[in-house]
Every structure is written in C-alpha cells, then in structure tokens.
C-alpha cells in the first residue's frame, strides 16, 4: 500500500530497522550520510536503493528539513555508488517515489538506482 508522505517519521519502518542493523541487507556502500543496498525485489539487473541515514519520510521531507551537509552528503553518495558500480558509461536511471500517487511503499526516503540493461522509456506509453 502506498504511504501518506505527510505523516510523521515512523521509527518502525523497514529501512529504519535496516539502518539500526535489526534487519539484514546486502549493502554496497555506507558512510555518515547514506546507506546503499540491493533492492529485495529487483526490477533491473542492477537495482540499488540509496537511503539517508537521517530520519526523513520522503524527498519532500528531506528537501525541507535536512541540513546542507546531509543533502550534499546524501547526493554525493548516490553519485559515488553509481560510479562504483560502473553504471555511468552505459547509463542508468534514478527514481524516488513520493506519497500516494507516487506509490511510495516504504516511509523512509529512498532513491532507486536502476541499470545493467537498456531501460526503455520512463513510463509505459
């Protein structure tokens, strides 16, 4: 079920539990600002989720409340992960779902990083 992105942060959400080490993930990168790990239900040969280490529901919440250091650290981590995984030369796609119409299912900001094959147009036509 998609979430309401205007609700307060829920510390019991699945990505909060992964950040605290209560649930496993297959991590590819972690620093002060971000954690990147393989999506449990990959939609492309490479499907990584990059999440901020701070408590933010969505991109809207993050852009409104995060510090400049958190924002720059997070987006530098996204770029670092893409470069490290060799996605830049063939190309890749970033996606962040927000709220009900965006069909966001986990209420902790996450950027999907897809690659490893030609991905086609962004939306079905």
**Residues classed as catalytic:** 110
Pick the closer one to ligand DGP by CB: 46 or 97. Answer: 97
Query: What does the binding site for ligand DGP look like in residue numbers (CB under 6 A)?
Result: 14, 25, 37-41, 49, 97, 103-106
Pick the closer one to ligand DGP by CB: 69 or 105. Answer: 105
Among candidate residues 1, 5, 2, 4, the one with its CA nearest the CA of residue 60: 5
Pick the closer one to ligand DGP by CB: 1 or 67. Answer: 1
Among candidate residues 62, 66, 57, the one with its CA nearest the CA of residue 104: 57
- Token pair of 120, please? 């086609």
Q: How far is the CB of 25 from ligand DGP (least distance, A)?
A: 5
How far apart, in Å, are the Cα atoms of 83 and each of 22, 42, 103, 107? 29, 19, 28, 27
Q: How far is the CB of 78 from ligand DGP (least distance, A)?
A: 15
Q: How far is the CB of 68 from ligand DGP (least distance, A)?
A: 25
At 57, phi and psi to the nearest 5?
A: -70, -40
């Amino acid at each position: 079920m998609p979430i309401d992105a205007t609700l307060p942060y829920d510390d019991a959400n699945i990505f909060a539990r992964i950040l605290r080490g209560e649930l496993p993930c297959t991590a590819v990168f972690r620093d002060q600002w971000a954690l990147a790990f393989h999506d449990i239900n990959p939609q492309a040969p490479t499907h990584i989720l990059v999440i901020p280490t701070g408590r933010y529901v969505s991109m809207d919440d993050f852009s409104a409340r995060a510090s400049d250091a958190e924002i720059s650290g997070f987006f530098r981590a996204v770029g670092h992960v893409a470069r490290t995984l060799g996605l830049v030369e063939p190309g890749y796609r970033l996606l962040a779902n927000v709220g009900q119409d965006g069909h966001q299912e986990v209420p902790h900001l996450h950027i999907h990083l897809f690659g490893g094959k030609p991905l086609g147009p962004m939306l079905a036509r």
